[in-house]
Chains A and B, each alone.
Chain A
Amino acid sequence: MNIAFCSTGCELKSELDDRFGRTTYFLIYKTETSEIICIENEARMAKGGAGSQAVQQLIDHNVSVVIAPEVGPQAMDALKRFNITPYNQKGAKTVEEALALWKDEKLPLIEEPGAKGLHKA
């Protein structure tokens, strides 16, 4: 199973990013092999629709769990539709810490979407 983290860097010790759609990197951890893949978030500089482009990248990398600070309403609908479960990263500072908390089932589910983006054209 692939778990994606919103990360400021490409290592397990990297700090988590405080944005979902515009996170710097998605760090993807494969639970079967403990392998890590780091992808630069293409949506980071999107004029609008960063959340949806972020979800598209998760889908393309077969992610089924995402650990995020918050998720906007459109991205939330999309995550549900594509069966990607969002967990709240609060309490963790680094990817490593968030992964440990998730393994211990200590991260809460994100059930409600946050504020909608501005979609400036």
Chain B
Amino acid sequence: MKIAILSGKGGTGKTTVSNNLAALISEAVLIDCDVEEPNSHIFMVPRITGEEEIQTGYPVVDDDKCIHCRKCADFCHYNAIIAGAAATMPLKDLCHDCGGCRLVCPAGAITYEKKGIGTIYTGKSRFGSDFLYGQLHLGELSGVKIINRLNEMTADRDLVLVDSPPGTSCSTVAALEDSDYAVIVTEPTPFGVSDMKMVVEMLREMEIPFSVVVNKAGLGDKEVYDYCRGENLSISGEIPFDRSVAEAYASGKLAVEISDENRSLYNTLWLNIRKEAEKSHEN
């Protein structure tokens, strides 16, 4: 089973929830798909046993063969090729590696070359469980290829927890690929609720069953509860706001490490999530 932990708004607690669960469940593989700003490795402190470079392709134009028909530039949806009578100029930073320009070129003037966009690190966490994370190079356009590869590398595993990217962008959609279940981590603030609504829409569109975890409960207002009731969303658990948890987090420690109370809170949360996930697949 693959369970994606996501949020909409950043900073609501995706990493907190996914890492605490990963620390408790030794058979779970945690993958950090927030490749633009991965941070699970800070808590998992993995012993890295494997590194894989992820590449993307970009077009190169052979000026001797180019007949300046401009078909490649007309075709490119991302403005990654500029064409005029004088030259045909690909801009590799804008290319999405779709291969279309090569297909439409009647002169066979376009070939593709490869460049690295990031790295996937594989290892064992300090809790003894398997852990993988991706890191996109600074300035790169899209981490989707890295996320797809992370999914591919863990496709045969029995239990995968995904620390997803925030928002509802291409990266988040890629992280959700083949998820059996999703957990939206939200917070009782207007921003938390507003951004969560977009995630709810996305998950419904993708037909992925989900439930909600309210983190930092006790802060903010009641809007999130009203919204969940109105939309008939199930709440798998609430994590009360606790300064000692925040302090531990700031020094790289997880809630489940600092007290039995927190351990039992996350144990209960996991049982609820698993129950909801199994129930959603019975129907």
Which residues of A are in contact with B by a Cβ distance under 8 Å? 43, 46, 48-50, 52-53, 55-56, 59-60, 74, 77-78, 81-83, 116, 119, 121
Contact = CB atoms under 8 A, between A and B. Distances in A.
Contact of B82 (A46, A55, A116, A119): A55
A86 to B, nearest CB: 15
A116 B91 CA distance: 13
A55 to B, nearest CB: 6
A47 B152 CA distance: 29
Contacts of A81: 82, 86-87, 89
Interface stretch (B73-81, B195-203, B206-214, B249-257): B73-81
Contacts of A116: 139
- Count class of interface residues, chain B: 10 to 19
Interface in B41-97: 73, 78-80, 82-84, 86-87, 89, 91, 93-94, 96
B79 A119 contact: no
Contacts of B139: 116
A78 B89 contact: yes
B36 to A, nearest CB: 11
Contact of A48 (B73, B82, B94): B94
Contact of B91 (A60, A78, A121): A78
B38 to A, nearest CB: 18
B83 A56 contact: yes
B86 A78 contact: no
Given A43-B79, A52-B80, A52-B94, A119 B86 contact: no
